[in-house]
Amino acid sequence: MHSFDFTGKTKINFHGVTVHRIRATRDIPRAGVKKGDEGGWIESAELKNGDARVSGDAWVYGNAQVYGDARVYGNARVSGNARVYGNAWVYGDAQVEEPWHLLMIGPIGSEGVTATLARTKNGKHILNVGCWDGTLGTLMAEVKRRRAYWHSDEATQEFWVAQYRALKALGRVTVKRWE
């Protein structure tokens, strides 16, 4: 059961997809939404393309877009001109308002996963690499800890370490822009 219906307004988005404006069918006090308020634009009431999900207390608003296999959950906020897509996972206290508030790199490292760096509400950051969550400051300690379990030749291990170092360096440049 949805908390919205369609207003009858449609437009073509920048992907060339027809999207429809929604309107709240009930009050949602925690989001400051009143019954009848117009909301964002969606392609369908049911997800047809990709497996994007928004759940928990997460908000997606403004011109923000979530698509592909992206996940937005917890207390995360995605707004403004942000576009969250691919395998991105935005969660916790993440607050993505502009495209540069999110950095995704992948496949990377020993597991060939996507690394996601996101700005948080307090102006700091959260880093997710596969099943690990931390910060740029704790990344290399985690790499060192896990390296003992890597079953590959020395050259491959050095390649992965170099990828994680490059992720840390690029992440620091990205976070500096947020300041």
pLDDT in tens, 74-111: 777 777 666 676 666 676 777 777 778 888 898 999 88
- Looking at residue 14, what is its pLDDT? 65
* Burial class of residue 32, CB neighbours in 10 A (0-12, 13-18, 19+): exposed
pTM value is 0.62
Q: Is 108 inside a domain boundary?
A: yes
- Looking at residue 155, what is its pLDDT? 96
Domain range spanning residue 90? 47-178
- pLDDT mean across residues, the chain: 82
Number of domains in the chain: 1
166/133 Cα distance (integer angstroms)? 18
Q: Is 31 inside a domain boundary?
A: no
